Amino acid sequence: MSGRSPRGLGASTDPAPPPFDRYPEPPLDRRLDRRDFLRRLGVLTSAASAGALAPVWDARPAAAAPVPTVRIPRQRVQETDPADLTVLEAASLMREGGVSPLEIARACLSRITAHDPLLRAFNRVEEEALLEGARAATEALGRGAQLPPLHGIPLALKDNFFTAGVPTTANSHIYRDFVPEYDAEAWRRLRGAGALLVGKTQMGPLATSRATTPDGEVTTRNAWAPHDARVSPGGSSSGSATAVAARLAPGATGTQTGGSITNPADAQGLTGIKPTMGRVSLRGVIPLTYTRDHPGPLARDARDAALLLSLMAGPDPADPRTLGQPPLPDLLGATLPAVGSGGSPRLRWPTRVGVFPDYLSPPAGPPPEPPGPDADPEEQAAWRFRTEAWERRREAYAPRAEFLRTLGELGAEVVELPYPQDWSVLTGGDFNNARLPERSEPFLEHLRRDVRLFGVSLSPWINGMLLSGTEYLTGQRARLLLASRILDGIFGRCDVVALESPIPFDIVGLPLISFPVGMTGSGPAARPVGALLGGMPWAEDRLLAVAGAYQAVTDWHRRRPPDPESGVDPVPGRSGEAPLRLDVLDVLESGE
């Protein structure tokens, strides 16, 4: 990178951190009162159904926060590949003249050329358009104009976000030839903030599993295990995660219905946030489940995740789910820790972290017994799924004690929680399946036309047609019961909760964040391990504050996977290597 004169980019400098617990504005989750919630539930329901409750929130969009300056050591600037910069680092360096949009775009494209034939993070790379946009952005930067916060920042988009004039396939035969006429609202906002499109990323077909072709051939590899296709990159936003982890793009979008942002973040050492239902518009996102789809960012740290989410979020008249929400708080500011009496970072707000009794325990019992050689395909698929979950649990539990100890040093109070009543039933596979009719309904036309269009994903679409309306309604009622028990039973005792699985909070639409807290294995077998935290409705600021403070005193989020070794592993499909495939019943078990 060359040294250039500073230029304006609408920048501000991070404010000096306030003393611990002296912030004038509490996090959003403390601006409501849960007392008497359960006692009043029935009464309020009646009032609401009679139209007695007026809207209580402001629907105005939050003002876009300026991008703060991030201080980067001179030596790091000189030694760092521009593709390794975070979004905030890149934006900050641009306005100081340390790097140009064109240099960043070329650095990303160079790495894509070198590594994506093996990693397969992308469905499609928009090389020419990216370079053209980056040249224009570089020229605008040279004119010293007041520019938007993501000016010239390349981003990767999951291939279920509409992109005007650019094919959007969701890795499905159904959308093989689909070219949207307009941008998804979330992408429209990011593009309006100056972002450039690197390309569309690989995903599980229709957002169901780890990324595969429509017919189930595994495409995307985990950036931490590029030579072992069996290591999952996390699904279904697999390509977005691999792109960010492998430094093919500084940031990306994903969608989550059953862990599809937080699981890839966990698997690849990233910070991924799934916001509260309605924070980000779903207009222009290919639906999987109307009531559970959540767009959100996959980023290299909490600050990037906060910036990207704050720019994606906001009310959209075309998506009623986004209306009537509390104004978006300053998410980027929330990631700045406070300073304790000795000058050490502290959590921005006093925070109780809830953990369930088995959070620090290894998985119970031995690994699942494999089925016999004559077992049915569905038994084999179920065993593969249970074994993968058992292995992941075995790897994940070890760093948790250190994670909680660090949070304690930051000022958190760790409290043990009992599981809410009926937790395993209301969050288990059967009640999770209550979502399936929402898959079948919007795709009925395609199901009627030819079920083969669904390729390896077909099973859950068929099963969704088998649930009765009665059972669907019971499932929706159970969601409110679960939400009320979470609000009262969990958040009556803590402010954030450490979770084993994203499914409970996906079911009820509550926010989740995943960020790296350790490593397992060593050498080529080293893999990141993440922590998953859940918050109250619209508590993204609280979750980002915890992640931001944790990342201020740890460096797990700065670990990068080594580049794939050239020549060690054949590029799939080019030298006789048998491709790894998912079975239609594997997709059914994945629960995404």
Partner 1 sequence: MPPPLPTFQELSDAELDAYVLARLALAGVDISVLPEDDPEAPADRRRILAGARRFLRSTPPAIAGFAMDPQEVPPAVYPAAQVHRMAEAAATAPGGDG
Residues with a catalytic annotation lie at: 158, 236, 260
Give the shortest CB-481-to-partner 1 separation in angstroms. Answer: 5
Residue 47 touches partner 1, criterion: CB under 8 A: yes
Tell me phi and psi for residue 297, to 5 degrees: -95, 155
3 state SS for 505-554: HHHHCCCEEEEEEEEECCHHHCEEEEEEEEECCCCHHHHHHHHHHHHHHC
Long-range contacts of 578-582 (CB under 8 A, 24+ apart): 579/217, 579/218, 579/229, 580/217, 580/218, 580/229, 580/230, 581/212, 581/216, 581/217, 581/218, 582/209, 582/210, 582/212, 582/216, 582/218, 582/456
For 37, the token pair is 């919630």
> Taking each helix axis from N to C terminus, what angle separates 540-553 and 302-312, rounded to the nearest 10 degrees?
160
Residue 122 touches partner 1, criterion: CB under 8 A: no
Residue 42 touches partner 1, criterion: CB under 8 A: yes
Residue 378 touches partner 1, criterion: CB under 8 A: yes
Among 74, 143, 448, 574, binds partner 1 (CB under 8 A): 448
Q: Which residue has the tokens 């926060």?
A: 65
- 321 versus 348: smaller Cβ distance to partner 1: 321
Beta bridge partners of 217: 581
Give the shortest CB-40-to-partner 1 separation in angstroms. Answer: 4
**Distance between CA 46 and CA 453 in Å, rounded?**
44
- Amino acid sitting at position 485: R
Residue 81 touches partner 1, criterion: CB under 8 A: no
Residue 40 touches partner 1, criterion: CB under 8 A: yes
- 11 versus 381: smaller Cβ distance to partner 1: 381
- 338 versus 486: smaller Cβ distance to partner 1: 486
Residue 37 touches partner 1, criterion: CB under 8 A: yes
Q: Looking only at residues 424 through 443 of this chain, which bind partner 1 when binding is defined by CB under 8 A?
A: 425, 428-431, 433-434
Q: Looking only at residues 450 through 509 of this chain, which bind partner 1 when binding is defined by CB under 8 A?
A: 450-452, 454-456, 458-459, 462-463, 465-468, 470-471, 473-484, 487, 508-509
| Contact characters 206-235, partner 1, x per CB under 8 A | --------xxx-------------------
Q: Looking only at residues 508 through 527 of this chain, which bind partner 1 when binding is defined by CB under 8 A?
A: 508-510
Residue 290 touches partner 1, criterion: CB under 8 A: yes
**Distance between CA 161 and CA 416 in Å, rounded?**
39
Residue 50 touches partner 1, criterion: CB under 8 A: no
Residue 325 touches partner 1, criterion: CB under 8 A: yes
Residue 41 touches partner 1, criterion: CB under 8 A: yes
**Distance between CA 377 and CA 497 in Å, rounded?**
37
- 124 versus 321: smaller Cβ distance to partner 1: 321
Give the shortest CB-497-to-partner 1 separation in angstroms. Answer: 14
**Distance between CA 461 and CA 137 in Å, rounded?**
44
- 46 versus 522: smaller Cβ distance to partner 1: 46
Residue 45 touches partner 1, criterion: CB under 8 A: yes
